[in-house]
Structure 1
Amino acid sequence: MNLPLHRAPFPASMAVEVDPARFASPHLVALNEALATELGFSPDWLRSPEGVALLSGQTHIKGVPAMAQAYAGHQFGQFVPQLGDGRAHLLGIVTDHAGQVHDMQLKGSGPTPFSRRGDGLAALGPVLREYLVSEAMAALGVPTTRALAAVTTGETVWRDRPQPGAVLTRIASSHLRVGTFQYFAAREDRESLEFLCALAIERHVPSAHDCENPIRALYESVVARQARLIAHWMSLGFVHGVMNTDNMTLSGETIDYGPCAFLDIYRHDKVFSSIDHNGRYAYVNQPRLAGWNLARLAETLLPFFDPDENRALTWAQEALGRFQDLYQEAWLARMRPKLGLTASETQDKALIETLLQIMEKDRMDWTLSFRRLARNDSLVEPTSSEALLDWMMEWQARRDREPVPAERQYALMRQSNPAVIARNHRVAEAITSAENGDFTVFENLLQRLRHPFADDSTYEMPPLPEQIVHATFCGT
């Protein structure tokens, strides 16, 4: 079969050619048929033994070697000059039917020169978590990498316990990270940085070619994309969990679903990651950490902003300084529709923030509370606080000033507030069943997550106290 896969355009300084590991008995357990078709692959062929061999790294197309990319990164604030794809292989690039170029990467496909004593493998649980949550995010309209397939390897992976091994096939607009630029900046490799900038512009901001300084335009685009992305996360109660600089892409896509989770009961300082002991990547800190990461990207690009170091620094500070305004604008653009607001009033931010304070104090569920408003179900319970009663009256008065009728307001709210999200206990239930050989729970959950704005009395319910998942894990 003539496959739509081509060699990735990286020189040896940026990516090492390395074969994936050999696996005993790869078996396809999940295939995103719609995405496969969009990318030009035949789903039937991908299900064949030849297709499964490709999706597990057991074969490759002639002239298209698998590669492990180099990058560095700040991990929990500490700079590590060499990280890289320690358990991932870039199979190549593919152009979809719309003409967009994507990376096709295997994750959990074996050790590489960047493995740092790791085994390079992935357990089934983290693979299915990324599959479910990334597809849930895509259905919610959040820019994200996508899951094309999941394959079990027939081998055991040892973590805190023996677990089934698996490989995820991930599709991304690119895997260019802030850490990719940091890797070459730390080595003072200007030529490689220029190459990366040109590739990022070609892939993500082709209009920058027409600007006086294309690299400035690239940076401004990354700042704006990240502002919109983080605002979208925040509006959904999503906690990424590990916002290291090697996990921030220039494309503005969400990447690396390790210790991620959606809020159940709202807490502004909620942390899920089992290793985030100081709450660096808590829910409330995500906008601030995005700005911090963008500052690290600016440091790698200063020589390209202006030949004069002082002017370059001044420009970078001004460009980065716009992030907070862009974020606030994007956050309000996400939060107003959640309350049925189409117009803009000065006090809208205070109205929203007051609701969040009440939700936290009254231990209200993030997703279900907003969905109940969208269904015109009163949030008021016999045990509700006076503050909530007062807020409901204030919200109604604000809605009365809207230029659109109530039915339009509720329609907007139903389009902005999902009923079904990838709740932690549901994901955990799907993983446990799959580890025991039953993928029915996984498949049923996946199908529901693809229609997040449809009411569902079963899947929209928060966890019972004994079902709450308090911590999530990276899986490495």
Structure 2
Amino acid sequence: MPHKIINFDNSYINLPEIFYAPAEPTQVRGASLVRFNHALADFLNIDIADVSNHAIAELFSGNIVPNGAEPIAQAYGGHQFGHFNILGDGRAILLGETIAKDNQRYDIQLKGAGQTAFSRNGDGRAALGPVLREYLVSEFMNALNIPTTRALCFVKSGEKVQRETALDGAILTRIAKSHIRFGTFQYIAAMGNEADLKTLADYVINRHFSNIENAKNKYLELLKEITKAHAKLVANWMSIGFIHGVMNTDNASICGITIDYGPCAFMDNYNPQQVYSFIDKRGRYRYENQPNITQWNLARLAESLLPLIDNDSDKAIAIAEQVIIDFMDIYKNEYYSLMRAKLGLQKHLSGDDELVDGFLDYLSENNLDFTNSFRDLSKKINEEPYNDWYANWQKRLCQENNDKEKIIKILNQTNPAIIMRNHNIERAINAAYQLGDYTLFNEMLLASQAPFEAKPEYEYLTKPPRENEIVQNTFCGT
């Protein structure tokens, strides 16, 4: 390499060794660069000037470990579909951390970089399809200003991975504020060493919630901060029709970002009971249940924090329970605020929340597209109302004291024209697998960075799937 590319400033590795295991990326034979996120690299102060694509591929495949990196796999546990397991990074390796232009610390992680101490019987690899999906969806979420991990780089490994069939392998370089999860606290709590639990909590407060450093009970405040962050996050998901697919506690980020894009999807026709994950046979993680699952996950986190919240266990439980109970009110306030904006409403008047619910009922009863139905509201302001809901909505708009042009602008700035629809993602994946063609992937990525703009050349990205294109299930990458 001609110069130092990443300025590492690592901190997680300074925690006790119970938190991680050393992990060297496994070399691959034919690394080739598919996509590099230059804007994100610039934000992270990563300097690839005069670095060839081949050298970038070698670096972000794990074939070359950059100077300053200290590769580890993080240890954690997690409730998977309600059952607690000891887990850890089985196919992800944290290279280290860097300080970005916003003076915040970010993790740089290789996903699919080979086996670690936590791989169990897995191969530690990732297939091209799930990597492509995560790149597209995470960058789209970022364009919507929804907290998320980011995609820096997408490299083909030149090797096959065995799933149901042999598939092209790939490595994703993932960026996050951190990869600490609810399950990290659960794992440390399960080990029974309160000193380690305090060390983790103090590290998280220092890194992510320094505003509560001097609070009287900073561990209670930590639970409150995480609760608020996740109330906002799941409200954002619900407002955009996003279904995470596997909301296990090991997939819940301590800093309130969307993480671990596996069998995720954005709804086409509005269906509160929609499930996309092939393994979610009972609909635990269906769309309408996401707020309840978030609250359940927060309760599991609270259990882990109890020894720090108060020495009296009964008092700690009572205090923590109230925080978990309060979650739903915080969530509903966030959710209805977002949904009112999607109807062009900036004030909050009596009956507004019922107006939101009524529109969703209308969509459900008529099997209508979620994204397009909200987007089309801007075209219906001047139309004669053809049912009671539209008549009530138009009357309510009159109370906004905004002219119609301003309301139309609000609607079009709040409701995206483009969504990362599952059938288009599948088309992009199939083109990559079958033809080595990334044209659709690149076009979708470009279009998704301006999701509120309705451009004629991207009209196909606004259309729901035809019946033969509907994707019923998506899968995780393992």
Task: Place the TM-score, normalised by the shorter chain, in its bin.
Answer: over 0.9
Q: Deviations over 1:13-39 (max 9, x none)?
A: 111111111100111101111000100
- Further displaced range: 14-23 or 123-132: 14-23
The reply on whether 1:469 has 2:467 as its aligned counterpart is: no
Q: Deviations over 1:127-165 (max 9, x none)?
A: 000000000000011000000000000000111111100
In the TM superposition, residue 51 of structure 1 has moved relative to its aligned partner by: 2.8
Contact 1:37 1:43 in 2 (8 A): no
Q: Distance in 2 between matches of 1:106 and 1:292?
A: 30
The reply on whether 1:161 has 2:165 as its aligned counterpart is: yes
The reply on whether 1:61 has 2:60 as its aligned counterpart is: no
Q: Distance in 2 between matches of 1:44 and 1:272?
A: 41
Q: How does 1:242-261 map to 2 (within 5 A)?
A: 242-261=246-265
In the TM superposition, residue 48 of structure 1 has moved relative to its aligned partner by: 4.0
Q: Distance in 2 between matches of 1:102 and 1:47?
A: 24
TM-score, normalised on structure 1? 0.96
Gap regions ≥5 residues in structure 2 = none
Q: Secondary structure of 1:97's match?
A: coil
The reply on whether 1:434 has 2:408 as its aligned counterpart is: no
In the TM superposition, residue 406 of structure 1 has moved relative to its aligned partner by: 2.1
The reply on whether 1:39 has 2:37 as its aligned counterpart is: no
Contact 2:7 2:68 in 1 (8 A): no
Q: For the structure 1 residues 374 and 23, does the alpha-carbon distance in structure 2 shift closer, same or farther, using more than 3 Å as the test? A: same
In the TM superposition, residue 64 of structure 1 has moved relative to its aligned partner by: 2.7
- Further displaced range: 85-94 or 315-324: 315-324
Q: Distance in 2 between matches of 1:136 and 1:63?
A: 31
The reply on whether 1:97 has 2:106 as its aligned counterpart is: no
- Further displaced range: 325-334 or 196-205: 196-205
Q: Secondary structure of 1:85's match?
A: coil
Task: Quote the residue 1:320 is aligned against.
Answer: 324
> What is the RMSD computed on CA atoms of the aligned residues?
1.5
Q: Secondary structure of 2:17's match?
A: coil
- The amino acid across from 1:134 in the alignment is S
User: Out of 9, 29, 32, which is 1:27 matched to?
Assistant: 32
- The amino acid across from 2:416 in the alignment is P
In the TM superposition, residue 374 of structure 1 has moved relative to its aligned partner by: 2.5
Q: For the structure 1 residues 303 and 45, does the alpha-carbon distance in structure 2 shift closer, same or farther, using more than 3 Å as the test? A: farther
Contact 2:78 2:84 in 1 (8 A): yes
The reply on whether 1:350 has 2:365 as its aligned counterpart is: no
Q: Secondary structure of 1:401's match?
A: helix
Task: Quote the residue 2:10 is aligned against.
Answer: 7
Tell me the matched-pair count: 469
Identity %: 43
Task: Quote the residue 1:383 is aligned against.
Answer: none
Task: Quote the residue 1:112 is aligned against.
Answer: 116
Q: Deviations over 1:412-470 (max 9, x none)?
A: 11111000010001111111111121111110010001110001422111111111111
Contact 2:44 2:100 in 1 (8 A): yes
Q: Distance in 2 between matches of 1:185 and 1:12?
A: 15
In the TM superposition, residue 210 of structure 1 has moved relative to its aligned partner by: 2.4
Q: Secondary structure of 2:263's match?
A: coil
Q: Distance in 1 between matches of 2:390 and 2:300?
A: 42
Contact 2:157 2:169 in 1 (8 A): yes
User: Out of 203, 207, 213, which is 2:207 matched to?
Assistant: 203
Task: Quote the residue 2:22 is aligned against.
Answer: 17
The reply on whether 1:290 has 2:289 as its aligned counterpart is: no
In the TM superposition, residue 44 of structure 1 has moved relative to its aligned partner by: 3.7
Task: Quote the residue 2:414 is aligned against.
Answer: 416
The reply on whether 1:134 has 2:138 as its aligned counterpart is: yes
Task: Quote the residue 1:453 is aligned against.
Answer: 452
In the TM superposition, residue 250 of structure 1 has moved relative to its aligned partner by: 1.0
Q: For the structure 1 residues 257 and 357, does the alpha-carbon distance in structure 2 shift closer, same or farther, using more than 3 Å as the test? A: same
Q: For the structure 1 residues 378 and 169, does the alpha-carbon distance in structure 2 shift closer, same or farther, using more than 3 Å as the test? A: farther
Q: For the structure 1 residues 104 and 379, does the alpha-carbon distance in structure 2 shift closer, same or farther, using more than 3 Å as the test? A: farther
Q: How does 1:270-419 map to 2 (within 5 A)?
A: 270-376=274-380, 389-419=387-417
Q: Distance in 1 between matches of 2:141 and 2:383?
A: 26
Gap regions ≥5 residues in structure 1 = 381-385
Q: Distance in 2 between matches of 1:105 and 1:379?
A: 51
